[in-house]
């Protein structure tokens, strides 16, 4: 009897254990199924974010098109249009995308109008971090379900290894100190000094910038089309493109305050051919069949008149001689432009004195058809440039094969190349030049200016300007005017000379010499006396040795 009761108890316990195991297996299976569906949804959201992050995605696009792309990239079986709908709605609630309710094949859907890529990137990182944390949790759970003996043994091994690795990975006190010192030094170096701030303020344009920005749409018609499209999609326009009246509640027509272009259509123009490659630098504009452009002055003139009216009302005092002078940096006086027509091959440059800065745009012999004469390599090497400076800087424009020759000339003249400027050329429409007139293997869209230093020049303002100039091309060999302001800020108030200059190159504080100038004009008394002593007749176009 006792044996039977024990047998019944064992049988009962076996049944209870079997029921418990069966229930646990069902629960695990359900949890596995749920986790599988959840992981598929996470993968779908990750794939959706990848599709939205594509810069080549054409907007607007709808949720059905997005779902088709996800199907082509994933093998999800539980994904449908409703889930895509909810995922897009969740992303839109975070302000990452802008949606519009639409009906797609008699189903509710979304049309994506705008995507904020920076917020989308952060959202993608959150998805990855969340998935990583879930994987870590599942791994910890699987570890916890192991037998106690194995778990204890593994925990001992893991704890020992992790303790050693954590100790090895911890930075030492010396490393922490070095890192802290390095961070403090980096922070100090990144902050502008008081002198740098003072210099920046000194050379800042007084009265604000007096320039007008070009509209990115180019033509006025294209700008109006963009405005209409923005109004249809209820997109807020940038604040700088709005007029003052648009901030009010009244609906007023949008007027862009930037510069626009208009097409020049003549009798011989064939619009089908498209834009001329050379635009306003075309040599045959009177007969060229391609489309050319000019600045649309209608709005520009009205804006200038408006600004002049404001200035006149603010400045009610009568104009004086002082008010007509150009605004100069505080503490600096500009000498009027000076120039000498001469042949640099024969000019005795020692009579000109010493200069702090030299700029030269030599007529290098680059084997091209040019509208001016060129100098041979030997003539360039023999120029009397060393007599112009003891301590100072030289800016030497080079192009093509003349780059190596320019470096060679700098060494011969006693200079060390210390830097280099690059002029990135843009066309009339403010776009990068793709078809230039220079270059043998590739079309040149830039020019280089070598910067050399001689001796130990003082009072230089370093770090004010960048080494890249982006400016529009003009006539052949006409360099950008921005270079003069850059040099003046680098060495303010000093004597400067430009070699091989033309009439458009004359600048205040500069002496310009070259054979294409109009006569001689000198203002500096010492320079006049020295030049007249060496050239009494003023003729320095021939060799008088």
Q: What is the pLDDT of residue 187?
A: 82
Alpha-carbon distance of 227 to 76, in angstroms, equals: 42
Given a contact cutoff of 8 angstroms between Cβ atoms, the answer to whether 73 and 47 are in contact is yes
pLDDT digit string (tens) for 24-45? Answer: 444 444 444 434 444 556 666 7
Q: Residue 432: its pLDDT value, please?
A: 85
- What is the band of 80 on the pLDDT scale with cuts at 50, 70, 90? low
Write the pLDDT tens digit of every residue in 388-445: 999 999 999 998 778 999 999 999 999 999 999 999 998 888 888 876 666 667 778 8
Cα–Cα distance between 451 and 395 in angstroms, integer?
5
Top pLDDT among 123 and 237 is at 123
End-to-end CA gap in the chain: 143
Query: β-strands 468-472, 416-426: how paired?
Result: parallel
Give me the half-sphere count of Cα atoms (radius 13 Å) on the Cβ side of residue 90.
Answer: 13
213-222, 249-258, 294-303: least confident range: 249-258
More confident residue, 98 or 145: 98
Residue 235: the pLDDT is: 55
User: What is the predicted pLDDT for the residue at 142?
Assistant: 58
pLDDT computed for residue 248 by the predictor: 41
Whose tokens are 């400076």? That residue is 389
500-527 average pLDDT score: 92
pLDDT tier for residue 209 given thresholds of 50, 70 and 90: low
Question: What is the rounded distance in angstroms from the CA atom of residue 361 to the CA atom of residue 421?
Answer: 13
Q: Please, what is the average pLDDT of the chain? A: 76
Bridge-based pairing state of the strands 446-454 and 416-426: antiparallel
Residue 302 φ/ψ, nearest 5 degrees: -65, -35
Question: Domain segments of the chain: what residues?
Answer: 2-144, 214-242+253-311, 338-534
**Lowest mean pLDDT: which of 366-370, 451-455, 534-538?**
366-370
- Out of 14-18, 201-205, 370-374, which region has the weakest mean confidence (pLDDT)? 370-374
**Burial of residue 112 (number of CB atoms within 10 Å: 0-12, 13-18, 19+):** buried
Q: Which two tokens stand for residue 124?
A: 């993608």
pLDDT score at 501: 93
Q: Is 415 exposed, middle or buried (0-12, 13-18, 19+ CB in 10 A)?
A: buried
Pick the residue with more confidence: 77 or 26? 77
Predicted confidence at residue 183, as pLDDT, reads 86
Q: Which residue has the higher pLDDT, 45 or 359?
A: 359
Please answer whether residues 388 and 415 qualify as being in contact, where contact means their C-beta atoms are separated by less than 8 angstroms.
Answer: no
* Mean pLDDT, range 163-190, rounded to an integer: 81
For 457, other C-beta atoms within 10 Å of its C-beta total 17
Domain at 2-144, CATH from 2.30.30.140, 3.30.70.20, 1.10.10.10, 2.60.120.200: 1.10.10.10
For residue 294, list its beta bridge partners.
Answer: 262
| pLDDT for 318 | 42
Indicate the pLDDT class of residue 130, thresholds 50, 70 and 90: confident
Topology at the third CATH level for domain 338-534: Rossmann fold (3.40.50)
Q: Is the dihedral of CA 488, 491, 492, 496 positive or negative?
A: negative
Q: What one-character-per-residue DSSP string does 153-202 give?
A: HHHHHHHHHHHHHHHHHSPPHHHHHHHHHHHHHHHHHHSPPHHHHHHHHH
Phi, psi of 194 (to 5 degrees): -65, -35
pLDDT given for residue 531 in this prediction: 93
Position 498 pLDDT exceeds 70: yes
Contacts 24+ apart (CB under 8 A), 38-44: 40/76, 40/77, 40/78, 40/79, 41/78, 41/79, 41/83, 41/87, 42/127, 42/130, 42/131, 43/74, 43/76, 44/70, 44/74, 44/76, 44/79, 44/83, 44/84, 44/87
Confidence at residue 368, expressed as pLDDT on a 0 to 100 scale: 55
**Per-residue pLDDT at 51 exceeds 70:** yes
Per-residue confidence (pLDDT) for residue 398, from 0 to 100: 93
Q: What is the pLDDT of residue 305?
A: 55
Q: pLDDT value at position 79?
A: 61
Classify residue 469 as exposed, middle or buried by CB count within 10 Å of its CB (0-12, 13-18, 19+): buried
Residues 6 or more apart whose Cβ sits within 8 Å of residue 411: none
51-to-116, 144, 229, 544 alpha-carbon distances in Å: 13, 38, 24, 76
Instruction: Tell me what pLDDT residue 411 has.
Output: 95
The mean per-residue pLDDT over the stretch 204-216 comes to: 71
pLDDT per position as a tens digit, 287-332: 888 988 888 877 655 555 555 555 455 454 443 333 333 434 445 6
In angstroms, the CA 488 to CA 177 distance is 44
Q: Output the pLDDT for position 171.
A: 80
Q: What is the pLDDT of residue 37?
A: 41
Confidence of residue 141 (pLDDT cuts 50, 70, 90): low
What b/e string do you get for 247-279 counting C-beta neighbours within 10 Å, with b at 16 or more?
eeeeeeebbbebbbbeeeeeeebeeeeebbbbb
pLDDT at 191: 80
Q: The tokens 């050319």 sit on which residue?
A: 292
The pLDDT, as a whole number, for residue 34 is 39
pLDDT of residue 19: 65
Helix axes 63-73, 81-93, angle to 10 degrees: 110
Between 101 and 437, whose confidence is greater? 101
Instruction: Name the most confidently modeled range: 146-160, 359-373, 383-397.
Output: 383-397
CA pair distance 22, 17, nearest whole angstrom: 9
Q: Identify the residue with better confidence: 381 or 85.
A: 381
Distances (CA, A) of 412 to 60, 186, 198, 375, 417: 62, 39, 38, 17, 12
Model pLDDT, residue 324: 35
User: In the structure, what pLDDT confidence band is assigned to residue 65 with cuts at 50, 70 and 90?
Assistant: confident
Give the lowest-confidence range in 160-169, 245-254, 255-264, 422-431: 245-254
Q: In what order do the strands lie in the sheet with 61-62?
A: 61-62, 107-115, 97-104
Residues 6+ apart with CB under 8 A from 34: none
pLDDT score for 303: 55
């Amino acid at each position: 009897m006792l044996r039977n009761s024990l047998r019944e108890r064992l049988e009962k316990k076996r049944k209870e254990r079997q029921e418990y195991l069966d229930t646990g297996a069902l629960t695990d299976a359900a949890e596995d199924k749920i986790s599988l569906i959840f992981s598929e949804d996470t993968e779908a959201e990750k794939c959706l974010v990848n599709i939205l992050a594509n810069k080549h995605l054409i907007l607007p696009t709808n949720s059905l098109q997005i779902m088709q792309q996800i199907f082509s990239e994933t093998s999800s079986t539980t994904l449908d249009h409703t889930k895509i709908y909810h995922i897009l709605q969740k992303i839109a609630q975070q302000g990452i995308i802008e949606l519009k309710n639409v009906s797609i094949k008699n189903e509710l859907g979304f049309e994506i109008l705008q995507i904020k890529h920076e917020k989308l990137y952060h959202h993608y990182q959150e998805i990855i971090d969340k998935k990583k944390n879930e994987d870590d949790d599942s791994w910890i759970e699987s570890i916890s379900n192991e037998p106690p003996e194995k778990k204890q043994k593994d925990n001992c091994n893991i704890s020992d290894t992790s303790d050693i690795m954590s100790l090895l990975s911890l930075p030492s006190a010396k490393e922490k100190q070095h890192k802290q010192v390095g961070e403090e030094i980096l922070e100090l170096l990144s902050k502008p000094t008081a002198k740098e701030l003072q210099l920046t303020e000194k050379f800042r344009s007084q009265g604000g910038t007096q320039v007008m920005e070009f509209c990115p749409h180019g033509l006025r018609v294209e700008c109006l089309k963009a405005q209409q499209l923005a109004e249809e999609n209820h997109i807020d326009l940038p604040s700088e493109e709005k007029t003052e009246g648009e901030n009010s509640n009244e609906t007023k027509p949008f007027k862009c305050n930037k510069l626009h272009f208009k097409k020049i259509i003549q009798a011989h123009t064939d619009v089908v051919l498209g834009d001329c490659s050379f635009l306003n630098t075309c040599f045959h504009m009177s007969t060229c069949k391609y489309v050319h452009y000019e600045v649309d002055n209608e709005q520009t003139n009205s804006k200038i008149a408006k600004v002049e009216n404001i200035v006149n009302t603010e400045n009610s005092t009568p104009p004086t001689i002082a008010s007509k002078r150009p605004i100069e940096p505080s503490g600096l006086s500009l000498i009027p432009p000076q120039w000498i027509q001469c042949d640099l091959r024969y000019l005795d440059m020692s009579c000109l004195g010493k200069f702090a800065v030299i700029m030269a745009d030599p007529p290098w012999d680059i084997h091209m058809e040019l509208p001016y004469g060129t100098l041979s390599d030997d003539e360039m090497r023999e120029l009397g440039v060393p007599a112009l400076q003891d301590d100072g800087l030289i800016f030497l424009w080079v192009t093509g094969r003349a780059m190596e020759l320019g470096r060679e000339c700098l060494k011969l003249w006693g200079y060390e190349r210390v830097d280099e400027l690059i002029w990135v050329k843009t066309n009339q429409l403010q776009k990068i030049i793709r078809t230039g007139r220079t270059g043998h293997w590739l079309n040149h869209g830039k020019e280089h200016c070598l910067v050399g230093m001689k001796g130990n020049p003082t009072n230089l303002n370093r770090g004010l300007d960048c080494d890249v100039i982006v400016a529009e091309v003009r006539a052949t060999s006409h360099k950008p005017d921005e270079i003069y302001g850059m040099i003046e800020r680098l060495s303010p108030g000093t004597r400067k000379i430009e070699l091989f200059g033309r009439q458009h190159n004359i600048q205040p504080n500069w002496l310009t010499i070259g054979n294409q100038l109009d006569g001689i004009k000198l203002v500096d008394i010492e320079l006049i006396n020295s030049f007249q002593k060496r050239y009494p007749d003023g003729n320095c176009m021939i060799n008088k040795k």
